[in-house]
Amino acid sequence: MPTDQKHARMIVAQGVSAWDRDDFESALQTFVGVLAEHPYFADVHNKAGLCLAMLGRLEEALVHFEAAVTRNPAYAEAHLNRGLVLKDLGRGDEAAEAFVRVNELHGRDTPVFPADVGNRIAVTHAQLGDLYLVANHPELAFKEYQAALEIRPRFMDVRSKFAETLIELGDLARAKDELTLILESRPSFVGARIRLGVVLHRMGEDAKAVKQWEQCLEDEPTDMRARAYLAAVAARVEPPAKGGGESR
């Protein structure tokens, strides 16, 4: 049975724990397992790439970093990691282009902290948010994601998690605004579009929800979540079958 996003994040946390122990092989297996069902997780592609880089498998690492920046073009950390691997592979011109992109992205975020320090602080807040969300404390996760976004407002993966906490807390109107903001920046962010459909459905706007999930299938035809939601809505609105005759 496919794992939902919350369960998947719990599995990712296990991979992060293995990474912290320098068990890169175990961490890689965990991240690849999650990606088999959730290939749109840009941050997990980045984590898998880091594992492969530490194991010396640079070409494979590059594949994951490129998947990460394809799914999230504003993912500065993944652009940086991609550049470092390209440099190690002797592809200096491409590495230089990647580093230019990193500088552009850093320049668009809050300049209170140096770029690398700001990224680390934002990521640390986001990781704490992940743990609080897994522990079923969305109110605490909310505060951590909010702190991360104050430093790096263009971290759309974090903003998507922030929207998830708003859904958990029942603030559907604000979750809708956050998810709409994400999709204005990244129309191909399937995970955010799935969540927006869920929010619209809960707000009673089924026609708009269906439109979002249908768009998901256009962008990612194999996405089983969109198919499941569409099937559920269709089953709810389908009229009952007519009987063989009226009872008297």
Predicted pLDDT at 170: 94
Predicted pLDDT at 111: 57
**Mean pLDDT computed over 38-46:** 90
pLDDT in tens, 197-238: 999 999 999 999 999 999 988 888 887 888 899 998 887 655
Average the pLDDT over each of 30-39, 81-90, 117-126, 152-161 and give the range with the smallest value.
117-126
pLDDT in tens, 140-160: 999 999 999 988 888 888 899
Question: Do 214 and 230 touch, CB atoms closer than 8 A?
Answer: yes
Residues in Cβ contact with 106 at an 8 Å cutoff, skipping those fewer than 6 apart: 76, 115, 118, 119
The overall average pLDDT reported for the chain is 85
pLDDT in tens, 24-41: 999 999 999 999 988 888
Instruction: Please tell me which residue, 72 or 61, carries the higher pLDDT value.
Output: 61
Predicted pLDDT at 113: 60
Question: Do 195 and 221 touch, CB atoms closer than 8 A?
Answer: no
Predicted pLDDT at 100: 83
**Mean pLDDT computed over 96-115:** 70
Distances (CA, A) of 226 to 33, 67, 209, 217, 232: 20, 21, 10, 7, 10
* Percent of the chain topping pLDDT 90: 45
State the DSSP string of 33-99: HHHHH-TT-HHHHHHHHHHHHHTT-HHHHHHHHHHHHHH-TT-HHHHHHHHHHHHHTT-HHHHHHHH
pLDDT in tens, 4-23: 677 887 898 888 888 878 89
Q: pTM (2 decimals)? A: 0.59
Q: What residue ranges define each of the domains in the chain, with the CATH number in brackets?
A: 5-108 (1.25.40.10), 170-237 (1.25.40.10)
State how far the Cα of 244 lies from the Cα of 6, in Å rounded to an integer: 45
pLDDT at residue 119 above 80? no
Predicted pLDDT at 174: 95
* Percent of the chain topping pLDDT 70: 88
pLDDT at residue 172 above 80? yes
